[in-house]
Amino acid sequence: MVYNSLEAPHNLKEGVDWLMALKGDDSEKNLAALGAAVHKFLADKPVGKMEVPALESVKLITKEFLEQPELKNMWPASELLGRFNKPMNKNFVGSAKCFYNVDESDYTNVVKARRLTSKTIAEKLGKIVAG
Domain ranges of the chain: 1-45+117-131, 49-108
Give the model's confidence band at 67: pLDDT under 50 very low, under 70 low, under 90 confident, else very high: very high
- pLDDT at residue 120 greater than cutoff 80: yes
Residue 1, pLDDT above cutoff 50: no
What does the alpha-carbon distance between residue 66 and residue 131 come to, in Å, rounded to a whole number?
Answer: 19
3-state SS of 66-95? HCCCCCCCCHHHHHHHHHHHCCCCCCCCCC
Going by C-alpha positions, the residue among 37, 32, 43, 40 that lies closest to residue 119 is: 32
pLDDT (tens digit per residue) in 32-55? 887 888 888 888 877 766 677 877
Q: In terms of pLDDT, which residue wins out, 49 or 125? A: 125
**Contacts for 48 with CB less than 8 Å, ≥ 6 apart:** none
Listed in sequence order, the DSSP H helices in the chain are 12-23, 27-42, 53-66, 75-85, 96-99, 110-113, 118-130
Q: How far is CA 15 from the centre of its chain?
A: 13
Give yes or no for residue 79 having a pLDDT over 50. yes
Phi, psi of 56 (to 5 degrees): -60, -40
Residue type, 30: N
